[in-house]
Amino acid sequence: MRYFRSNQHYRLTLAQTTIKAVKAYRIERIKSGMKFTCTHCAHSVTTMDFDAKAGNLRTQAATAINAHASKAHHEPLVVSPADGQQRSWR
């Protein structure tokens, strides 16, 4: 187990490791929006595939590609704790 002198350094290292371990897609800017591609296969969705009336287009695309990764590749869906999200707004 590694210990760090600075709590800030530890938090950054932990966050970087966590993000790298759970990301199920790559994001690419395209002419009319964003393209989300599965990291395990060629499956992709774009923000143009969704209706803005249903909410944020990027959120809908990320949800769809995460659902694909969960179903097709047996990747667990990652849900951020609500408390962590609230802290980011403070």
37 within domain boundaries? yes
Burial of 69 (0-12, 13-18, 19+ CB in 10 A): buried
Q: Is 43 part of any domain?
A: yes
Tell whether 66 is covered by a domain. yes
User: Does residue 46 form part of some domain?
Assistant: yes
Report d(CA 3, CA 62) in Å as an integer. 34
**Position 11, amino acid:** R
- Residue 72 counted as domain residue: yes
**Could you list the pLDDT tens digit for every one of the 90 residues in the chain?**
555 554 455 455 555 554 445 577 899 999 999 999 998 899 999 999 999 999 999 999 999 998 998 899 887 665 555 555 555 555
pLDDT value for 19 = 47
| pTM, two decimal places | 0.61
> Does any domain span residue 89?
no
| Structural domain that includes position 59 | 24-77
Angstrom distance (rounded) from CA 62 to CA 81? 17
What are the φ and ψ backbone dihedral angles of 3, each rounded to 5 degrees?
-115, 145
Number of folded domains in the chain?
A: 1
Shortest CA distance to 63 belongs to which of 82, 81, 50?
Answer: 50
